[in-house]
Structure 1
């Protein structure tokens, strides 16, 4: 147990250090964005004196390193600052948007994770069969196509031609659950098609590797049916890599939804970040980017910790 606690503490410290470095990179990248918020607010006809005055009012005349440490100190205290475009609290702006993004990710995960694990188990059970080849071809084709292409194809067939689902995903917290699920159907299917191949192939490969283990051979010699061997004996011993790839894909679902949200005009955190880039609203862009980075780091650390806990042999490297 002590080794596990030490390992968790080391991973947390490494995650905090990584997040600090990422915050500096985010701030620097946002600083390098073209355009100016003062000009965006005042318009192209503003005089240089007026632009300089609004920059002083917004604190943009200070050196970048001073603004970075002031911003970082506020983030540590839970204060992301105020939007330069709307003068609203950033926490107020991102609150509902973050919930929408989490809802979309949760719906996609609820569909994709059981589907991918089930397909992986079936592909391992019927290895080299027509079903196995068909699943591999379908999932590899889906993962080979970019998200925006899959999204536009779904819109073309299911929204424009058939008319089953809306092409724009308009949701709010006051909608009934069924209406929200109906609105996010196409974005959720897009994300599902993108990530299901990773989990399915990892599940299949892990189970196939375990099928040559002595305890599996013993179960086979006892006359157990193949499905029982896979489900009751192989799958429980394959959880470590499967959990790892599932959590990593959950991190992608939350931090990689920007393109999908933009295509479907979904009111999530990714859409807010893109809109803020257009408006040159630097604090909002920094806050959204940092939330995505923190989510990805936390879930990756979670995957690392779960894989070690579920397989204690990793605590004793050779």
Structure 2
């Protein structure tokens, strides 16, 4: 077994352990919420016999550890159970919502990643100039704003005053691809503006740090132009931290869509979990939370693996 394979195996094992601990926290946190799910669903007028029978049908009368292992066993076999509010299979309920959330995250990534990389390279190329300072001011401004504030500003400008984009993201099952893109534009732009600043600043910082190395000075002494030094010598060596921060921000795009989806009434996984909390639909809340946690852990694991792969010192250990 090579050193790189061993390191990746350790990261995968650590990710699996983290996900198991997260599943424990999700299950325990939801189970210890105040109130009773059976009473909430049946109403205050339900008799104690009806509530007890309903609790038995849901398995709420079983010990906590037994409920956890039955839930975990079902998850491992792809069975999330049935929703309490509608009786539908949770997998069928989540599937279209998960697709919508992934589509939204992909749209935001398609906007933010290229602009962030280009902006970071331009800021590094024209460092300590008015262009660099302007980019820093813009990025610091967007980092300071929460998602809902950015969303309402964009709605005010692009939907209310300009009228070029819809303020609500109505994505019906039979919508066309162009209609989906139109409904996706404002929430995707909101997420892109929020995460783009962090990626842009990280790109600039990584490249500027490398520009002070000796091999960069040697390239300058050879008479190479600054842009060629940056693209051919500095950027490849800055890929590890840049790739890491890009993947971590992609993880945020997947898991941080809850507020944005609620603001734009976008039918994604974030909107589903908020609706399920209001209805006290515990199985759906557990399933959505575990999916968000799994996605975040998986993308963090991907960031670690990408950092290892693009690092020559780990790829070719002495």
Runs of 5+ consecutive residues of structure 2 not aligned to the other structure: none
The whole-number CA distance in structure 1 between the counterparts of 2:296 and 2:126 is: 35
The whole-number CA distance in structure 2 between the counterparts of 1:307 and 1:17 is: 21
Deviations 1:75-100 (A, max 9, x none): 11111111111111111000000000
The whole-number CA distance in structure 2 between the counterparts of 1:76 and 1:265 is: 31
Report the CA distance between 1:45 and its aligned residue. 1.9
Alignment-derived partner of residue 76 in structure 2: 76
Is the deviation greater in 170-179 or in 249-258? 170-179
For the Cα contact (< 8 Å) 1:37–1:279, is it kept in 2? Answer: no
Alignment-derived partner of residue 240 in structure 1: 240
The whole-number CA distance in structure 1 between the counterparts of 2:21 and 2:197 is: 31
The whole-number CA distance in structure 2 between the counterparts of 1:173 and 1:50 is: 37
The whole-number CA distance in structure 1 between the counterparts of 2:165 and 2:126 is: 35
Alignment of 1:239-258 (within 5 A): 239-258=239-258
Alignment-derived partner of residue 165 in structure 2: 165
Deviations 1:16-67 (A, max 9, x none): 1100000000011111233333223222222222222211111112222211
| TM-score, length-scaled by structure 1 | 0.96
Alignment-derived partner of residue 115 in structure 1: 115
The whole-number CA distance in structure 1 between the counterparts of 2:312 and 2:34 is: 50
Is the deviation greater in 293-302 or in 153-162? 153-162
Alignment-derived partner of residue 277 in structure 2: 277
Alignment-derived partner of residue 305 in structure 2: 305
Would the alpha carbon gap of residues 301 and 155 (structure 1) be closer, same or farther in structure 2, given more than 3 Å must change? same
Alignment-derived partner of residue 41 in structure 2: 41
Deviations 1:253-276 (A, max 9, x none): 001111111111100011111111
Alignment-derived partner of residue 196 in structure 1: 196
Deviations 1:194-215 (A, max 9, x none): 1111111111011101111222
For the Cα contact (< 8 Å) 2:41–2:85, is it kept in 1? Answer: yes
For the Cα contact (< 8 Å) 1:108–1:189, is it kept in 2? Answer: yes
Deviations 1:89-139 (A, max 9, x none): 111000000000000000000110010000000000011111111111111
The whole-number CA distance in structure 2 between the counterparts of 1:64 and 1:154 is: 46
Alignment-derived partner of residue 124 in structure 1: 124
Report the CA distance between 1:316 and its aligned residue. 9.2
For the Cα contact (< 8 Å) 2:30–2:282, is it kept in 1? Answer: yes
Alignment-derived partner of residue 137 in structure 1: 137
The whole-number CA distance in structure 2 between the counterparts of 1:103 and 1:80 is: 22
For the Cα contact (< 8 Å) 2:3–2:314, is it kept in 1? Answer: no
The reply on whether 1:264 has 2:264 as its aligned counterpart is yes
> How many correspondences in the alignment?
318
The whole-number CA distance in structure 1 between the counterparts of 2:4 and 2:233 is: 26
Task: Find the residue that maps to 1:184 and give its secondary structure.
Answer: helix
For the Cα contact (< 8 Å) 2:273–2:284, is it kept in 1? Answer: yes
For the Cα contact (< 8 Å) 1:35–1:280, is it kept in 2? Answer: no
The reply on whether 1:50 has 2:50 as its aligned counterpart is yes
Task: Find the residue that maps to 2:169 and give its secondary structure.
Answer: coil
Is the deviation greater in 201-210 or in 150-159? 150-159
How much is the aligned-residue C-alpha RMSD, in angstroms?
Answer: 1.7
Alignment of 1:96-115 (within 5 A): 96-115=96-115
The whole-number CA distance in structure 2 between the counterparts of 1:48 and 1:168 is: 43
The whole-number CA distance in structure 2 between the counterparts of 1:223 and 1:315 is: 31
| TM-score, length-scaled by structure 2 | 0.96
